[in-house]
Amino acid sequence: MTSEVVENEFEFYSKAEKYWKDVPATVDGMLGGYGHISSIDINSSRKFLQRFLRDGPNRTGTTRALDCGAGIGRITKRLLLPLFKTVDMVDVTEDFLTKAKSYLGEEGRRVRNYFCCGLQDFSPEPNSYDVIWIQWVIGHLTDNHLSDFLKRCRAGLRPNGIVVIKDNMAQEGVIMDDVDSSVCRDLDVVRRLIRRAGLHLLAEERQENFPDEIYHVYTFAMR
C-alpha cells in the first residue's frame, strides 16, 4: 500500500508538481520519451471504449467526457473529441493546459472547461459525464486519495456512464518512483481500491504491442 512507500504526503505531491513543470509540453513529454507508442495506445483505447458506446439498452452516452491528468490533450484530441460532443480536461500543470488550447486546434472549441487542479482536490460535477477517462495518473495519488477520487467520479457519472483507468501495473506490491514522485501498484491493489470506492468492474484488458522494457499496462472500465 502507498502508506508503506510514501513517507511524506505533502512532499509526494509537491515533488510531482515540480517534476511536471519541467517536462516539455509535447506528446513525447507526456509519454516520457515514448511518443512513438501514442497511436498504438489510442487505437487500443478506442476499441476498448467503443464496446460500451454501441447500441443497446445499457449503452454509454456520448454527450460529455472528462479527461483526467489530461496534459496537453493527447487523449482529448485523438480519443475523446472524435467520440463525444464535449470534453472537459483536468491537469495539475497550467502550462500543459495552456499548450492544449493550440495543440487541439479547431476541435478544441468543444472543450468546455480546463480545470487546473490535482486530482486529490478535484470533484467532477455530479451526474455530468458519460465517460471519465483516467490515464497514467493514478500513481500520483495515495491510496486514500485515489479511492476518494474514484468515489467522486462515481457520483459524476450520468446514467450508464463509466469510469476508465488505464495505467502501468507492477508485478507485485507497490513500487515508488522517486524521479517523478509516483507509485506503481499491482493489479490486486488497484482492484481492491476500485472495490473500496464502491465501483463494479465491467471489463479489464492488458495493452498489447507496447515496448517490452516498460511496465505492463492495463485498462479497467467500471461503474
- Binding-site members for S-adenosyl-L-methionine are 69, 74, 91-93, 119-120, 135
CA distance 25 to 28: 8
Q: Could you identify the residue written with the cell 515540480?
A: 18
Sheet harboring 157-169: ordered strands across? Answer: 111-116, 86-91, 64-68, 129-135, 157-169, 216-222, 201-206
Please choose, from the candidates 150, 221, 118, 140, the residue with its C-alpha nearest in 3D space to the C-alpha of residue 185: 140
Q: Is 28 helix (H, G, I), strand (E, B) or coil?
A: helix
Q: Is 216 helix (H, G, I), strand (E, B) or coil?
A: strand
Give DSSP secondary structure letters for 45-81. HHHHHHHHHSSSTTPPP-SEEEEET-TTTHHIIIIIT
CA-angle at 86, arms to 131 and 210, nearest 5°: 50
Annotated binding site: 69, 74, 91-93, 119-120, 135
